């Protein structure tokens, strides 16, 4: 019976645009990443070091570093070395930017946010 | 007649005898709320919309979002200009900007080439002070940074914060005044128990300029430079006196 209830919840929570579902499951896999994605969506031409991005986000540098690296790996962000200093910015790929925009706009809906939170928590387990 | 880069700010271009000189670095200094950033944004906005000169805004403190909001309050749609590739509001840090300009094919160089950017606002130069506590080294860093902007063909407005709300500057880094091409001071002044704003072009290398101290206001469409202060002296000290009073003090009360 419990399994059935879990299945029902999962089905309900999966009920969203498949591209956004993949985006949350594969790319925005933590709340810090969510914050970072939102920050870069709102400030799309930001280009800076981990230390400064952490300051802007009001987070710990070490925590932000690993999250940024994963966002780079998944193609949401880009990293370039400027004189050995890693500098991060939002991916310039238009398709990725559109997906980020779609995600942020979808987050304005409370139901979508609840579903996104559910998937992130499940992923963190 | 020298070519000029017009700010498009009524009164200011008149004070500058037509505008800034091309590929120059222009320092705008003032206390919080005097309108340095507004002046810089207006320089960029007018450049794009009136003179077809795309622009860049490099911010070291305020989030780009803040610029979009502040600009919108004056009726300037920065987001739309960004979508049209005529403007980029870049949030970064002095260290990254410095390194970026030193290399070939950096972000700023690329944007200048791709967008055809001609103007840049650096908000604010004060943040460079964290790169070095040694004034000689700081001057070298700022000098090299300003030259790199000129090398890219950009005419820049660089803002700098002044800690004193009223009166003269208490800035530790006076060197920068020597390395820029023009120096504009924006000040609060107290006259008859009311705060006014005063603007002065202190220096304009390679050209004559208006020496008057003028009033200005931050109106619904940006900064408006008005008439000069009449019958007052000591304006830039923050506490001006009527000229008649100082005359009496100097010659009659003796």
Contact between B235 and B213 (Cβ < 8 Å): yes
> In angstroms, rounded to a whole number, what is the distance separating the alpha carbons of residues A45 and B92?
9
Domain ranges of chain A: 17-124
CA B7 to chain CA centroid, nearest Å: 10
Neighbours of B121 (CB within 10 A): 27
Cβ separation B93–A46 shorter than 8 A: no
B89, B93, B103 ranked by CB distance to A83: nearest: B103
Beta carbons within 8 Å of A99's beta carbon, 6+ residues apart:
A19, A20, A23
Chain A (41-60) residues lying within 8 Å, Cβ to Cβ, of chain B: 42-49, 52, 56
Question: What pLDDT score does B236 carry?
Answer: 65
* pLDDT tens per residue across all 254 residues of chain B: 679 999 999 899 999 999 999 999 999 999 999 999 999 999 999 999 999 999 999 999 899 999 999 999 999 999 999 999 999 999 999 999 999 998 888 889 999 999 999 999 999 999 998 888 888 888 888 999 999 999 999 999 999 998 776 665 555 556 778 899 999 999 998 887 888 899 999 999 999 999 999 999 999 999 999 988 877 676 666 666 665 565 455 545 54
Question: What pLDDT score does B254 carry?
Answer: 43
Candidates 3.40.190.10, 3.40.50.720, 3.20.20.70, 3.40.50.300; CATH matching B12-252 = 3.40.50.300
Beta carbons within 8 Å of B234's beta carbon, 6+ residues apart:
B240, B241, B246
Question: What pLDDT score does B166 carry?
Answer: 65
Helix axes A110-124, A18-26, angle to 10 degrees: 40
Chain A (66-85) residues lying within 8 Å, Cβ to Cβ, of chain B: 82-83, 85
pTM of the model: 0.84
Question: What pLDDT score does A57 carry?
Answer: 86
Average pLDDT over all residues of chain A? 90
Structure tokens at B137: 């080294």
Closest chain B residue to A42 measured between Cα atoms? B65
Domain spanning A17-124 has what CATH number?
1.10.10.10
Domain ranges of chain B: 12-252
Cβ-Cβ contacts under 8 Å, A46 against chain B: 64, 90-92
What is the nearest CA distance from B125 to chain A, expressed in angstroms?
A: 17
Contacts of B46-50 with C-beta under 8 Å, sequence gap 24+, read B46/B6, B46/B7, B46/B8, B46/B9, B47/B5, B47/B8, B47/B118, B47/B119, B48/B81, B48/B86, B48/B87, B50/B6, B50/B8
Cβ-Cβ contacts under 8 Å, B100 against chain A: 47, 82
Question: What pLDDT score does A65 carry?
Answer: 95
How far, in Å, are A11, A117, A124 from residue A107 at the CA level?
Answer: 19, 10, 19
Cβ separation B107–A52 shorter than 8 A: no
Residue A117 has pLDDT above 70, yes or no: yes
- Partners of B144 in beta bridges: none
Question: What pLDDT score does A5 carry?
Answer: 65
Residue keyed to tokens 């001057």: B139
Question: What pLDDT score does B165 carry?
Answer: 67
Instruction: Confirm whether the ipTM is greater than 0.95.
Output: no
What is the nearest CA distance from B145 to chain A, expressed in angstroms?
A: 16
pLDDT in tens, A63-102: 999 999 999 999 999 999 998 899 999 999 999 999 999 9
């Amino acid at each position: 019976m419990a399994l059935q209830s879990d299945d029902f919840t999962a089905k309900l929570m999966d009920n969203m645009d498949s591209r956004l579902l993949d985006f949350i499951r594969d790319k925005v896999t933590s709340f810090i990443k969510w914050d970072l994605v939102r920050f870069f969506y709102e400030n799309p031409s930001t280009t800076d070091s981990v230390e400064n991005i952490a300051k802007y986000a009001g987070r710990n540098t070490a925590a932000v570093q690993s999250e940024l690296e994963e966002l780079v790996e998944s193609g949401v962000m880009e990293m370039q070395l400027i004189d050995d200093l890693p500098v991060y910015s939002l991916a310039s790929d238009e398709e990725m930017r559109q997906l980020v925009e779609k995600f942020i706009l979808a987050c304005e809906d409370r139901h979508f946010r609840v579903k996104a939170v559910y998937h992130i928590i499940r992923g963190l387990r | 007649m020298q070519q000029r880069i017009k700010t498009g700010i009524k009164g200011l271009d008149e004070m500058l005898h037509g505008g800034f000189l091309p590929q120059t670095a222009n320092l705008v200094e003032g206390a919080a709320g005097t309108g340095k950033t507004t002046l810089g944004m207006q320089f960029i906005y007018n450049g794009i919309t009136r003179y077809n000169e795309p622009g860049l805004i490099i911010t070291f403190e305020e989030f780009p979002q803040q610029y979009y909001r502040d600009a919108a309050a004056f009726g300037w749609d920065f987001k739309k200009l960004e979508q049209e590739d005529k403007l980029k509001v870049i949030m970064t840090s002095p260290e990254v900007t410095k390194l970026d300009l030193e290399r070939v094919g950096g972000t700023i160089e690329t944007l200048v080439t791709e967008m055809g950017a001609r103007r840049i606002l650096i908000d604010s130069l004060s943040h460079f002070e964290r790169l070095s506590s040694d004034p000689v080294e700081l001057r070298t860093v700022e000098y090299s940074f300003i030259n790199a902007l000129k090398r890219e063909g950009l005419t820049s407005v660089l803002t700098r914060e002044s800690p004193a709300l009223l009166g003269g500057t208490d800035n530790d880094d006076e060197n920068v005044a020597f390395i820029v091409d023009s120096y504009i001071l924006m000040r609060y002044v107290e006259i008859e128990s009311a705060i006014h704003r005063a603007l002065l072009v202190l220096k304009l290398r390679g050209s004559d300029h208006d020496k008057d101290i003028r009033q200005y206001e931050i109106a619904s469409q940006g900064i408006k430079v008005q008439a000069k202060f009449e019958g007052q002296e000591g304006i830039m000290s923050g506490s001006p006196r009527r000229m008649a009073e100082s005359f009496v003090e100097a010659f009659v009360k003796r």
